[in-house]
Structure 1
Amino acid sequence: MRVRQLQLTDFRSYAHAQIMLDEGPSILVGPNGHGKTNLVEALIYLANLRSHRVSTDAPLVRTGCEQAVIRAEILHDSRRLLAELAIVPGKSNRARLNKTPLARPREIIGALKAIAFAPEDLALIRGEPSVRRRYLDELLCARYPRFAGVKADYDRVLKQRNTLLRTAYLAKKTGGRGPGSAELATLDAWDAHLAEHGGELLAGRLALAADLAEPVAKAHSRIADGRSEVTLVYTSELGDDLTADSGVLTARLSVALAGARAKEVERGSTLVGPHRDDVELTLGDLPVKGYASHGETWSVALALRLGAFELLRSDGTAPILILDDVFAELDGTRRERLAEYAEAAPQTLITCAVAADVPTRLTGARFDVWEGEIRHVL
């Protein structure tokens, strides 16, 4: 899989931009703030329906414009796909595949598979559990696009259930009678939906974590010269003995929700479910978070991304690899190890402020990006 052409309209700083890309490495060089990261951000958004830099869509649209448009011509074996996405803050985004409108934007997930590594990925280690859950969910959807619908259904039910619990909490706090039989009956219905979608999402995450553990460990061993072993384990409040069986997990979620009902009404929030889970990372015998050095943190974060790359490649579709301003942050050994992965990818996009930061072995197309202008350097 690779991107042949990328076109942007009113995306970030670009009124219009177009870049033709070839297989192998492509290096985008330019000072910070001149637009090089905006180009790869568009591809990351197209792959995940989410930016790696911001949590909302509004900053992606050029100031004064109503929408931004991303168009990418994607080559997958002998197939050619034209993926188009219109980003409309405050409204539903619109997506087309080969000129055909899609009913939901999430149906475009899978047209482009991309693994990106950026300085922001240190949050995979140092950040809150939500960052690691998002990492798993994005990889799960890239691997099996149907899970985008499962995740959307779970989030929708969770939001509705939290609204009902919050209403009950506020009524009780202000001296109201609290939830009566009708409200509790409604909560029972939401419990059933949450358990169903949550069981399916949890089963997908558990299976993914089991498949991902070995590629991540191997990637880290390669990056860090085998100095310490990294382990990855999915953790859930439902227990440690979970298997990736959605029916069994749905039943366990139902029991857990029933047991937490009184406490949830008291607190006004859903306290049970995949939205509270985490990924536990250990380096040797110690948790990575709070114990790893700065260099070790970089190595583990990089291993998470490269392990994901290897897992998708083992499934039969090697994704494109995006390395956004990371070579300058790495020491010589880690640069060379990362360069080895970049060479193995069918297409790698690299951004940097200084071309000398990129190992010389990564020869390919070079683009100079200056004040929003993109120039192909022959």
Structure 2
Amino acid sequence: MTPQPVAAANTAVTRLILTDFRCYESLRLDLDARPVVLTGPNGAGKTNLLEAVSFLAPGRGLRRAQLSDIGRREAGDDPAGHDKAAIPWAVAATVTVDGETVEIGTGVVAASPGANQTNRRAVRIDGADAPSQSALGEWVHAIWLTPDMDRLFSEGASERRRFIDRLVFGFDAAHAESLTGYERSMRERTRLLRDSRGGRGADPSWLGALEDRMARAGVAVAAARLAFVARMNVACKLGVGPFPAADLRIDGEIETLLETLPALDAEDRVRNHLADNRARDTEARRSTFGAHRSDLICRHVVKNIAARQCSTGEQ
């Protein structure tokens, strides 16, 4: 089956199979394309089912849980998972996309006894191993609204970044890979600066290579966010029924550069900023410039006020 533009596709999960996932030792659901409502008492496993579906898309799922926390545990097991050894679990699904089917499987691969390996999430698509979970974005796009997102517009920028990035995944499957690459290079650069006292003792070619990766991936991330918000604004400014018209924009350092510069020139600026900020970033123990600092800004068009100042219902 050829990957479809998932944002425009008619997508449904028609079979869901769980193995040692949360409270489920084994579960199989055969479904059709109609909407599904889950009901039952607290603790019955409704959210666990939704979390399983969320793992059919790239990312850490709707709970953002550690892989080692997801496998089913017997009564008396350490609930905090202090040993951090991932208990193998699996989610398999048949997904229909515009009338065609794709078989998706994902889960934690069991490491060999005594092996020094980190927990790894495996992905298979139509029986073939995928190079990374980013490949899921070619087939499935998932958005969720959960109770802890009620304060999306009144709390910190990190949740809004995650929210907008997940929306972007549905229109740009490469966005997940760009974001993952950016964050990985940023972590490696921070570690290198910390261990080498501001980069003075670091291999300059290594440090420069990490900053080059951050620049290229960071500009790609920022450009994808800007393109998505431009598309969304066409619809959001109209308003629908009781939903107020909204104006969206991305407030970020790299996004600002892209307003006036071509992407390649913006990459050069980012590289220079990162190189100039090495001492500052060492002191702060984090990167103080980049795509990880951007924020989604939303305004009520009619009232001309920020979303954080709107009523809870308007938000």
What is the TM-score with the length of structure 2 in the denominator?
0.81
Q: Counterpart in 2 of 1:53?
A: 63
Structure 1 residue runs of 4 or more that deviate by more than 6 Å after TM superposition: none
**Cα distance per residue 1:354-375 (max 9 Å; x no partner):** xxxxxxxxxxxxxxxxxxxxxx
CA distance in 1, matches of 2:208, 2:124: 38
What residue ranges of structure 2 are gaps of 5+ in the alignment?
1-10, 75-85, 111-117
SS in structure 2 at match of 1:272: coil
Q: Does 1:43 align with 2:61?
A: no
- Name the aligned partner's letter for residue 129 of structure 1: A
CA distance in 1, matches of 2:257, 2:131: 39
CA distance in 2, matches of 1:239, 1:206: 7
SS in structure 1 at match of 2:212: helix
- What is the CA distance between 1:294 and its match in structure 2? 2.1
Query: What pairs with 1:87-236 in structure 2 (closer than 5 Å)?
Result: 87-88=108-109, 90-168=118-196, 171=197, 179-180=199-200, 182-184=202-204, 186-218=206-238, 221-222=239-240, 224-226=242-244, 229-236=245-252
Aligned sequence identity (%): 27
Q: Which has the higher helix share?
A: 1
CA contact (8 A) 1:167 1:268 kept: no
- What is the CA distance between 1:239 and its match in structure 2? 6.7
What is the TM-score with the length of structure 1 in the denominator?
0.68
**Which residue of 241, 245, 253 corresponds with 1:237?**
253
- What is the CA distance between 1:33 and its match in structure 2? 1.4
| Structure possessing the higher relative contact order (Cα contacts under 8 Å, 6 or more residues apart) | 1
Q: 1:124 to 1:156 in 2, by over 3 A?
A: same
- What is the CA distance between 1:4 and its match in structure 2? 0.9
> What is the CA RMSD across the aligned residues, in angstroms?
2.4
- Name the aligned partner's letter for residue 137 of structure 2: I
**Which residue of 70, 81, 85 corresponds with 2:102?**
81
What residue ranges of structure 1 are gaps of 5+ in the alignment?
172-177, 298-378
CA distance in 2, matches of 1:112, 1:179: 41
CA distance in 2, matches of 1:78, 1:293: 41
SS in structure 2 at match of 1:19: strand
**Cα distance per residue 1:287-332 (max 9 Å; x no partner):** 222x2222222xxxxxxxxxxxxxxxxxxxxxxxxxxxxxxxxxxx
CA distance in 2, matches of 1:185, 1:192: 10
CA contact (8 A) 1:203 1:245 kept: no
**Cα distance per residue 1:99-129 (max 9 Å; x no partner):** 1122223222232223322223224223321
- What is the CA distance between 1:157 and its match in structure 2? 0.8
Q: 1:40 to 1:21 in 2, by over 3 A?
A: same
